[in-house]
Structure 1
Amino acid sequence: MKILGIETSCDETAAAVVKDGIEICSSVVASQVKLHHRFGGVVPELASRKHIEAIAPVVDQALDEAGARPADIDAVAVTQGPGLVGALLVGFCFARAWAYARNIPWVGVNHLEGHLNSLFFCRPAPKFPFAALLASGGHTSIYLVHSHTRSECLGQTRDDAAGEAFDKVAKMLDLGYPGGAVISDLAGKGNPEKYRFPRAYLDREAFDFSFSGIKSAVKRHLETHGDWREHLADIAAGFEAAVVDVMADKLILAAKTHGCGHAAIVGGVAANACLRRKTADLAADNGIKLFVPDLALCGDNAAMIAAAGCHLLGAQSFCGRLDDDVYSRVRFIG
């Protein structure tokens, strides 16, 4: 089965063709980073307009790169939520009309479920059940993943998402937007022990997160140290370590608590080298195998949406209807 995947939940217009949920035939992502950079974050109205401009060319490019004609596509999968409503509607309406015009099935996909299914492009792939940390600009949660279509949320952030905290701290440090990659690069040149920011574990036996306190601690440090610009790398390293330590510890704790031999990291923050390194070391110490998607599949992409859609359609009870609508907030998988 060849599925056309479409993703427009935030500021990437993406399309992909995936075969049988495990083979990527093409994956195209049109980024809006340069557009939103000057505003220090994503402007929803601008994002929606750019999606309208890009959606048809991106889908055509994905089909061309896959060597596929529209008639070769068996079904369409599209992000239904969570995300920016205006951005979601562009991809959702396009996908629904594209499938309806060709009389093929289509399905709306939970964006977070898509990230979890990005792991199954790995060879080998994790075995069910496994614990997964989903960390991005909008979400930070730990899931116990039972199947391709059923997961249990064990804990989530009570305030900022991890990626959001990176972006906000980058703005404090005058590093621009987006902040994840620039802080990570800068942190690699610094000493994470020079400025030890607090680790917000909350309840050490539970799996919720809080990153607003770390952000506030960085702000207080800048206010009380007039020479902070001379120590940017050390501040970045200390901040990154504080965020990474908590995420890695809680993920491995979740795997141990639920008897999982496999653990995984997905989402945009999964591209962070420090997080990968720390979690891999901790997993190895506890006899747990860690899985992380390729860097190209960590950020928002349509291949993961197509993969999730393949399994939803395979469950037979899942199929889109013309009166379906998008949603902005998380609908827990399960």
Structure 2
Amino acid sequence: MIKKIGVLTSGGDAPGMNAAVSSVIRYASSNNIEVFVVRDGYKGLIHDWIEKADLNYAQSILTRGGTAIGSARLPEFADQKIREKGVANLQKHGIEALVVIGGDGSYMGAQRLTEMGINCIGLPGTIDNDIVSSDYTIGFDTALNTVVEAIDKIRDSMQSHNRAAVVEVMGNHCGDLALYAATATGAEVLSTTEAKLSEQEIVEQVTTLAQKKKRSVIVVVSEKMYPDVHALAEKIEAGSGYITRATVLGHIQRGGTPSAMDRYLAITSGMFAVDQLIAGHGGLCVGLDGTTLVAHDINQALSMPKQDKIKEINKIRSLNAEFIKQ
């Protein structure tokens, strides 16, 4: 029977990570397993920033945003010798297995540690929803609600002054935040990584809306697609006549108290991960398939093709741009 496990968060922070850490501590403790937190992700492994956690600590972080145990990116972890330092530190504490909360890069580290004798289970923690092996990731729902609230507020102002706005949202080459937010807010123009519009196409669509006397226009775009969204706003203004402003939501999307759905996914995923470790499994990542938690082999999960969402994106574009056709 496993006696000691560790838990760490890696990569970008996401609301609900603390709930997942809390769940691992509480559920493992209920199974007479000691839990240690690793500070600042894989970086903490190689520096031995490892501490025993208790139920009081678990309860204190449950509802907090971000990650209380810290996170960091460590490309050097790809080096076998660097990983050996982390394994040695885990063994020094008697830690037999690890729960890793993060994205695809974090999963790869978990797979390599499993190959070195430390069973690891990955949990999908990222606001981008870009882990193909899970329908939804921990943090996505909270970030989406933040984006929707921001766009709704921007709409109020644009509607008041007969203006247009460009809103850039995160996604790290995944358009889900933009797609879901545009759907929920009725944004007239949508451009995502999977279905990118040229700057000229955006200008033309907004110009058509101006000619139809649309009172306000919202253009939602995914990050890392256009060199400068403020310059894009200037082009829209020159072409359409709308006074146009750009808003980059940035890291506001990462923070905040996790939503009920993110907490539920995080807590149930944490329990599921501990069950996998108790059963002696490693090299797995937890995913949400519909409403069911499933375990995928990490190597297989990382090679899964991305879902084609072009038809869905085009349907939303057609719905939200109906005014253009009138």
Tell me the TM-score normalised to structure 1 length: 0.33
Tell me the TM-score normalised to structure 2 length: 0.34
